[in-house]
A and B are shown apart, each in its own frame.
Chain A
Amino acid sequence: MSLLSSSVMRKFAMALSGLFLVVFLAQHFVINITSVLAPEVFNQWSHFMGTNGLVQGVLQPVLIFGVVFHFIMGFVLEIQNRKARAVRYVQYKGGASASWASRNMIISGAVVLAFLGLHFYDFWWPEIMHKYIESHPEDPTRYYAETVHKFENPVRVGLYATAFVLLALHLWHGFSSSFQSVGFNNKYATGLKGFTKFFAVFIPLGFLFIALYHHLNPIAH
Chain B
Amino acid sequence: MKLTLKIWRQKNAQDKGRMVTYPIDGIDGDMSFLEMLDVLNNDLVSRGEEPVVFDHDCREGICGSCSLQINGEPHGPDRLITTCQLHMRKFNDGDTIVIEPFRAKAFPVIKDLMVDRSAFDRIQQAGGFISVNTSGNTIDANAIPIPKSDADSAFNAAACIGCGACVAACKNASAMLFTSAKVSQYALLPQGRVEATQRVLNMVEQMDKEGFGNCTNTGACEIECPKGISLENIARLNRELLSAQLKG
Q: Is B73 on the interface with A (CB-CB < 8 A)?
A: yes
Chain B, range 147-203, C-beta contacts under 8 Å to A: 169, 171-174, 176, 201
Q: Is B112 on the interface with A (CB-CB < 8 A)?
A: no
One of B72, B176, B212, B245 near A96 (C-beta < 8 A): B72
* A45-53, A97-105, A134-142, A155-163 - interface stretch: A97-105
Instruction: Produce 1/0 per residue, A159-188, CB < 8 A to B.
Output: 000000000000001000100111111000
Question: In the complex where A81-B173, A94-B220 touch, is A183 in contact with B214 (Cβ < 8 A)?
Answer: no
Chain A, range 78-99, C-beta contacts under 8 Å to B: 80-81, 83-94, 96-99
Q: Is B80 on the interface with A (CB-CB < 8 A)?
A: no
Q: Is A8 on the interface with B (CB-CB < 8 A)?
A: yes
* Residues on A with beta carbons closer than 8 Å to the beta carbon of B204: 1, 6-8
Q: How far is the CA of A61 from the CA of B232 in the complex (A)?
A: 36
* A9-17, A118-126, A144-152, A195-203 - interface stretch: A9-17
B105–A85 touching, CB < 8 Å: yes
One of B71, B214, B231 near A7 (C-beta < 8 A): B214
Give B222's nearest chain A residue, CB to CB. A97
One of B205, B216, B245 near A177 (C-beta < 8 A): B216
* Residues on B with beta carbons closer than 8 Å to the beta carbon of A84: 104-106, 172-174, 211-214
* Residues on B with beta carbons closer than 8 Å to the beta carbon of A83: 105, 211, 213
Instruction: Produce 1/0 per residue, B1-40, CB < 8 A to A.
Output: 0000010100000000101000000000000000000000
Q: How far is the CA of A92 from the CA of B104 in the complex (A)?
A: 13
Q: How far is the CB of B248 from chain A (nearest CB, A)?
A: 11
Question: In the complex where A6-B241, A11-B215 touch, is A180 in contact with B234 (Cβ < 8 A)?
Answer: yes
Chain A, range 2-28, C-beta contacts under 8 Å to B: 3, 5-12
Question: In the complex where A86-B105, A93-B73 touch, is A102 in contact with B241 (Cβ < 8 A)?
Answer: no
A7–B207 touching, CB < 8 Å: yes
Q: How far is the CB of A106 from chain B (nearest CB, A)?
A: 9
Question: In the complex where A92-B72, A183-B239 touch, is A87 in contact with B169 (Cβ < 8 A)?
Answer: no
Q: Is A77 on the interface with B (CB-CB < 8 A)?
A: yes
Q: How far is the CA of A173 from the CA of B171 in the complex (A)?
A: 15
Q: How far is the CA of A183 from the CA of B169 in the complex (A)?
A: 22
One of B77, B201, B236, B242 near A182 (C-beta < 8 A): B242
Q: Is B218 on the interface with A (CB-CB < 8 A)?
A: yes
Q: Is B55 on the interface with A (CB-CB < 8 A)?
A: no
A103–B171 touching, CB < 8 Å: yes
Q: How far is the CA of A84 from the CA of B238 in the complex (A)?
A: 20
Q: How far is the CB of B240 from chain A (nearest CB, A)?
A: 8
B214–A81 touching, CB < 8 Å: yes
* Residues on A with beta carbons closer than 8 Å to the beta carbon of B17: 87
Q: How far is the CA of A94 from the CA of B218 in the complex (A)?
A: 10
Q: Is B126 on the interface with A (CB-CB < 8 A)?
A: no
Q: How far is the CA of A183 from the CA of B238 in the complex (A)?
A: 5
B72–A98 touching, CB < 8 Å: no
Residues of A within 8 A of B (CB): 1, 3, 5-12, 77, 80-81, 83-94, 96-99, 102-103, 105, 173, 177, 180-185
Q: Can you pick out 11 interface pairs between chain A and chain B where the beta carbons lie within 8 Å of each other?
A: A1-B205, A7-B215, A8-B238, A81-B172, A83-B105, A97-B169, A97-B219, A102-B217, A105-B216, A173-B217, A185-B235
**A7-B176, A9-B245, A183-B239 known, 20 other contacts, Cβ within 8 Å:** A1-B204, A3-B245, A6-B205, A7-B207, A7-B208, A9-B241, A12-B238, A80-B214, A81-B173, A84-B173, A84-B212, A89-B69, A91-B71, A96-B72, A96-B77, A97-B219, A97-B220, A102-B216, A180-B217, A183-B242
